[in-house]
Structure 1
Amino acid sequence: MGMANQVWLYDTTLRDGAQREGIALSLEDKLKIAHQLDRLGIPFIEGGWPGANPKDVQFFWKLQEEPLTQAEIVAFCSTRRPNITPDKDRMLQAILAAGTRWVTIFGKSWDLHVTEGLKTTLEENLAMISDTIEYLRSQGRQVIYDAEHWFDGYKANPDYALETLKAAKNAGAVWLVLCDTNGGTLPQEVNAIVKEVVNSLDIDPNGEGFPKLGIHPHNDSGTAVANGLAGVVEGVRMVQGTMNGYGERCGNANLCTLIPNLQLKMGYHCLSEGQLTQLTQTSRLISEIVNLAPDDHAPFVGRSAFAHKGGIHVSAVQKNPLTYEHIQPEKIGNERRIVISDQSGLSNVLSKAKTFGIELDKGDIICREILERIKTLEHEGYQFEAAEASFELLMRQALGQRKTMFQLKGFQVHCDMLQGEGTPYSNALATIKVTVNGEDKLEVAEGNGPVAALDSALRKALVNFYPEIAEFHLTDYKVRILDGGSGTSSRTRVLVESSNGKQRWTTLGVSPNILEASYQAVVEGIEYGLLLGTKVKEPVELS
């Protein structure tokens, strides 16, 4: 771990981020996020607490089957409980079974929590910290020690708080992470307290030697990112945070803001330049996976972060972007948007087309057509960041490369709510009529909901013509209301993820009618799957 100017990023979206109200991640969601963070170049990804949660146990198993390329996946757990030995603590056995090289252990720094919360002695708490770390070291694990409530504990009893860190240091922890668990600390306090820690524990402020310091800020005072930056200035070399700042209460430090500030403003190394350009895409992809609308006004990665509207702004930016932009948006994969002109986005279309193996020329009229079409659709509520399959179909249509696989003559969906003994039972029946190669086909299918029934009927109608459809299945279905103010007549955006067992792809539909939007997304999902079959049989990474 060389490089004095290296700051190590530690992402806890999958644990701390998932504790945000309104986020519920499936196992598939967690795997998708982990692989995307790995591609982005995040060195440490915290996967969850395998002793506390069966889904997390499965997650660590799955990652052994589909390993990450560069990131260390980290299991998270508390120190042993009071008055037992670590080898008898079931929680720690679950941690070892997760099979990760790195483990994060959190322990108490605040004397109040030890005596009131754990109902044990200050001495026993120190033993819990050192025993646990020594035990994990003896089992070949590398340990990151999270000092929970560190800043509050230090303010209440600085001597004891420092004792807990020394116990972790002497037991062989590689990292000591100072947590602002309640999120109440301000940047100037972080500066002063980190300085004290560096001096008391004799830590190299350039991040050489061991142990190294980390920080885990929460955003309850709105200063989580600033606290992370303040810590780094004083010698912290790991910042723990989440994508988009997700987390319980007011969230964690937002890595999408921290990373560009550390790298582009402060000269620290976090990611390679190429990886940094994936930041915006990663932020938006993860917001779609957790099904929360992206914050358009988020620093750096928001859609409006480099949008210029006022006439004077626009003419100045077109002459020299530095007039109204603090960094070049391309560095983090965002783009300048001139809200009133058609100049924005051409290069984006070109580079996007390239990723699908489609070569376009800037002077080509088709380029303009695709751009106009995208603008119109985005205005209606289409978002192509997370639905690349739909985007490719749109490009192929403009290029005249989109075959009509079938024509819809019409569909009907009928839903019953059956009240019986116990829970109400809903059942849906879909009838669909399509024309394929001049032949009409009428099919009926049932499903536990209208979209499932529609999907089944469509597949039944097409499978004789396109046998590979038998391999396709829906792996995810998400609905977002686009204009909440309109009540039940709002437009909805539907995202459907499909798979053929080897690859995954995402398509979308938008309509005031949720079934119409779902139908669009399902149809494009089938069409794109068939297109994949005719392309080179190389797997295309789409998800």
Structure 2
Amino acid sequence: MRRVKIYDTTLRDGTQAEYFSLSLADKIRIAEKLSQIGIHYIEGGWPGANPRDRDFFGEIRNYNLDSSLIAAFGSTHHKDRPPESDPVFQELLISQAPVVTIFGKSWNLHVKEVLRTTLERNLEIITHSLRYLKPHVQELFYDAEHFFDGFQADPEYALKTLEAALAGGADCLVLCETNGGALTSKVVEIIKAVQARFPEAPLGIHAHNDGEMGVANSLAAVELGVSQVQGTVNGFGERCGNANLCSIIPGIRLKLGLDCVSDDNLRRMSELSRFVYEIANISPNRYQPYVGRSAFAHKGGVHAAAVKLNPRAYEHIRPELVGNFRNFPVSDLSGKSNIFLLAQTLGLKPADHDAAVQAAAEKIRELTQNRHQLKEADILQTILSKVKELESQGYQFEEADGSLKLLVFASLGKGKDYFRMLSYRIVDQKVGDIEAPVPEATLRVRVGLNEVHTAALGTGPVDALYNALLKALIRFYPRLVEMRLEDYKVRVLPGATGSTAAKVRVFIESRDAHDRWGSVGVSHDIIEASWLALVDSINYKLYKDEHPSLGVAS
């Protein structure tokens, strides 16, 4: 079976989308998730562009990404400097990334009006840049920027830029449809011309989506024999976005029958999609193909009746192949997503809904000590009902694994309250126009028979509350000193009477030396929502340290 390698650029090209930004911690988490899915190349950013991308390449070396390779992205060297004296170009080597991808000009318009040099000098720059990098990296890719526009303007010159890249030692020539407006028929025609000129050269495709053709153009390129596909999770990217890997990967695997990720990892496509949406604090597109909540929803009576008899009547694939689920709105089949979520929480990876129900019930039977009095089916239904109830209030558990596991184990009779809040008060004092506010949290909690009263300052009201809580608990639970809050996100949930009456959902990511976990809280009050998430985060840390045999660690 022919293999197609997937090159993800969510951490670089994806972040050029409006309203899509990632912190360093966000980028690390997404890189870890991409490696778990089996993505071959993970582009971490442009190390010469900003400090955050530079820091990413230093930090990511501390993580095991299995067989995934980190790629650094950059441009060919400056037209007026050799590569060894171009500080931005040198950042590619400083990053120590095993893979480097550099882009160069393919379109004579860009060479003359953007790069402002001669056509011949541009060819020299491409060759010299690649030749300089080649001995220092494991793999070297050349992104031929605006190649399809360049080919239509001057076919011979565009092909000469690829010759220059091969002369410099490029391991793959990635043809970039940068403006995103080319029709598939034209993309096919141009790729065939490249293949006729360079029959032995490995080719890749990097498509944008300005004409809604990014996925189609990428799959057409694969059908022609292209061996590398670049794109982003959920199609995030500049302007209208990049080609969407959440559609491309199922297309390659299920439609073209080619190897790109394993079947097990393909079943995690929906999980990957939701993960990136949640980390980016963006509401998921429920109508997204393959992975959206409505991708396999059958509301019409005729459709629903036909699908119940034979799903093939109105579905192009089985939803469980990509980790999604069939949904009949307002029907007895709602809640299948919660079944899969629960199964994953218990460490299970079922292939379909029936397998998920059976596996979850068996796991609950295994974990439940009092088997005669507690029936696993009843407990399963209780857990699912609770999750659905909380989801109706605005909770989401895809990334709040700590909160969900606490709920599950409490339902199994294995929960524990390590402390109880009696009261808290937060004063945010502001003096003058220049000085920043100084928040102070006062807190009373009960730990066993002990009542503790503490106060603490913080850089914000939630930080002050967290500091006061740690100050109260650390004497009873010294291992809390290992815990760190890595991220804090707030999302406003639309309310029926306008945004001022809306609830907020707070997501907190925490870690210690061994694990990383998420917790969630929802309330009309942002402080209370934060408190709920903080409590779950700390309780999860204490619970997993006390019960390692239950497998609650992330």
How far residue 316 of structure 1 moved from its aligned partner, in angstroms, is 3.5
2:528 is the counterpart of 1:516: yes
Structure 1: where are the runs of 5+ without partners?
Answer: 204-209
Structure-1 residue corresponding to 2:353? none
Q: Residue 220 of structure 1 contacts residue 249 of structure 1 at CA under 8 Å; is this kept in 2?
A: yes
- How far 1:64 moved relative to its partner? 2.2
Q: Distance in 2 between matches of 1:483 and 1:229?
A: 37
The verdict on how the C-alpha distance between 1:261 and 1:31 changes in structure 2, with shifts beyond 3 A counting, is same
Alpha-carbon distance in 2 for matches of 1:263, 1:119: 43
Deviates more, 1:91-100 or 1:221-230: 91-100
Take 2:515 and 2:341, find their aligned partners in 1: how far apart are those partners?
A: 24
Deviation at 1:462? Answer: 2.1
* Mapped pair 1:173 → 2:150: no
1:349 CA drift (Å): 5.4
Question: For residue 468 of structure 2, what is the aligned residue in structure 1?
Answer: 457
Aligned to 1:470: 481
Q: 1:342 to 1:455 in 2, by over 3 A?
A: farther
Match for residue 352 of structure 2? Answer: none
Distance 2:482 2:97 in 1: 34
Of residues 382, 391, 409, the one that matches 1:378 is: 391
Contact 2:223/2:256 (8 A) holds in 1: no
Question: 1:507, 1:522 within 8 Å by CA — same for their partners in 2?
Answer: yes
Deviations 1:119-160 (A, max 9, x none): 211001011111111121243553211001111111111111
CA 138–452 in structure 1, closer or farther in 2 if over 3 Å, else same: closer
Aligned counterpart for 1:193 among listed residues 161, 172, 190: 190
Aligned partner of residue 337 in structure 1, secondary structure? coil
Give the match's secondary structure for 1:307: coil
- Give the match's secondary structure for 2:462: helix
- The answer to whether residue 361 in structure 2 is matched with residue 369 in structure 1 is no
C-alpha spacing 1:349/1:369, structure 2 compared with 1 (3 Å): farther
Q: 2: distance between equivalents of 1:130 and 1:147? A: 13
Distance 1:351 1:411, change over 3 A: same
Counterpart contact for 1:353–1:360, Cα < 8 Å: no
The 1:470–1:171 alpha-carbon spacing in structure 2 relative to 1, beyond 3 Å, is: closer
Aligned position for 1:407 = 420
Quick check: 1:435–1:441 contact (8 Å CA) kept in 2? Answer: yes
Mark the CA change 1:138 to 1:353 in structure 2 (over 3 Å): closer, same or farther. closer
Match of 1:525 among 537, 545, 550: 537
Query: Which runs of 4 or more aligned residues in structure 1 lie more than 4 Å from their structure 2 counterparts after TM superposition?
Result: 537-541
**Which residue of the partner structure matches residue 501 of structure 2?**
489
In the superposition, relative to structure 1, how do residues 24 and 231 fare at CA in structure 2: closer, same or farther (>3 Å)?
same
- The structural deviation recorded for 1:288 is 1.4
Give the alignment's TM-score, normalised by structure 2: 0.91
Contact persistence 1:446–1:456 (CA under 8 A): yes
Q: 1:235 aligns with which of 221, 225, 230?
A: 225
Q: 2:495, 2:267 → 1: CA distance?
A: 32
The one-letter amino acid paired with 2:3 is Q
CA shift, 1:272, in A, is: 0.7
Check if 1:418 corresponds to 2:415: no
2:364 to 352, 360, 363: 360
Is 1:13 matched up with 2:10?
Answer: yes
Q: Tell me whether 1:271 sits opposite 2:261 in the alignment.
A: yes
Deviations 1:213-232, CA, capped at 9 Å, x for gaps: 11111111111111111222
Q: 1:354 offset after TM fit, Å?
A: 2.8
Give the match for residue 111 of structure 2. 114
Corresponding residue for 1:348? 340
Q: 1:489 to 1:217 in 2, by over 3 A?
A: same
Give unmatched runs, 5+ long, in structure 2: 349-359, 366-374
Which whole-Å CA distance do the structure 2 matches of 1:407 and 1:54 have between them? 42
Query: TM-score under structure 1 normalisation?
Result: 0.93
Query: What is the percent sequence identity of the aligned residues?
Result: 45
User: What's the CA shift for 1:342?
Assistant: 4.1
CA distance in 1, matches of 2:142, 2:232: 18
1:347 to partner: Cα distance: 4.4
**1:117–1:334 CA distance, 2 compared to 1 (3 A):** same
1:226 aligns with 2:237: no
Q: For the aligned residues, what is the CA RMSD?
A: 2.1
Structure 2 residue 483 is the aligned partner of structure 1 residue 433: no
**Match in the other structure for 1:446:** 457
Kindly indicate whether the alpha-carbon contact (under 8 Å) linking 2:508 and 2:519 is maintained by their aligned counterparts in 1.
Answer: yes
Deviation at 1:363? Answer: 5.8
